[in-house]
A and B are shown apart, each in its own frame.
Chain A
């Protein structure tokens, strides 16, 4: 979904953080993307290539950490791994699962000169 808009938001966050530190070049960007966040990582990489091309981060290495999904199964009263929002509980096969982790999308850190 909307990976190009997200790429622009990422650039903005990165530019502001770099300028606040009087940095003129960004050499690496680290993102944290949950598997349930609805982001196609390859599309985001493509969007960032385009958006970063003429910015102070044009040579930046892009590191993307993936956060696996996890949910709370109401029937089992325990945390279970969750690959998609519609996945059944691996223990009981039920669908009463509340996602706990994996919906994040964050800019974690940058390396800047």
Chain B
């Protein structure tokens, strides 16, 4: 297991270099106090041993990710009220997420107001690449964490001056495992797989491909040089997620980017017309 997986306190989580919520709760995973969620029942009690006589069975019945999901619901409501179409981009490191995003922004920013939340373990290099296109971006550094959570994203929403009826990208930490389980409040989850990674990734990392609403198959310009069976990859992805739409793209050469941009604009338009904002992907729990 990853022994550093999200286990640190928020002090090492930085938003544009500033500690996340300094002085606030020690961990983003702290569940809310919810008396109405507790069901109490008396267990076997040792009635005659004073001081040790009160062993109680306390029924809790609470989802372990409940706190994150509470933050995610609040993000989703906040975004929906402003008709902001939020897309959570997830992939392994090196799949070309940032390059794809930069080239997408250059093509789409004249069509719709857009902003970016960048997640990386360290550095703000990606946010700087985004800002170079003229699009506002905020960088979240997760420190030791391997995924963004809804609390981090909620804080970053307050830092960006987001326009109503706009498009918001969240570029998650490069990781095909943990980000699948953490709902951020996005409208859609998009997974990016590149042809240099191997066609069996959907079966090796099924939670991610199961949670996704769209898969982009990136770097198709490299297909002549690598051993990658596109049809087999798509077939494997649809074993895990039978209804998954898949768009082959090349971020550098531009193949398929128009289809991707049409998909994004349709999402923005759908939200303006009151389409549901719940991501159809089911988080891992």
Residues in A lying within 8 Å of B, measured CB to CB = 1-10, 12-14, 16-18, 20-21, 23, 27, 31, 34, 36-40, 43, 46-47, 74, 84-86, 88, 95-97, 99, 103-113
Contacts and interface: CB of A to CB of B under 8 A. Distances in A.
B203 A3 contact: no
B29 A5 contact: yes
B29 A8 contact: yes
B67 A85 contact: no
B38 A8 contact: no
Interface of B: 1-7, 27, 29-31, 33, 35, 38, 40, 43, 52, 54-68, 146-147, 177-178, 180-182, 202-203, 206-207, 210, 236, 238-240, 242, 282, 284-285
Q: Which 9 A-B pairs have the closest CB atoms?
A: A5-B6, A4-B7, A43-B1, A95-B239, A85-B206, A38-B284, A105-B285, A2-B5, A9-B29
B212 to A, nearest CB: 12
Nearest to A96: B242
A58 to B, nearest CB: 16
Contacts, number: 150
Contacts of A110: 57-58, 60
B107 to A, nearest CB: 34
Given A1-B181, A13-B64, A105-B63, A88 B55 contact: no
Contacts of B54: 23, 113
A38 B207 contact: yes
A93 B271 CA distance: 38
B100 to A, nearest CB: 24
Nearest to A8: B29
A106 B61 contact: yes
A12 B29 contact: yes
A105 B283 CA distance: 11
B285 A111 contact: no
Contacts of B202: 86
A1 B177 contact: yes
Contact of A10 (B4, B40, B64, B181): B64
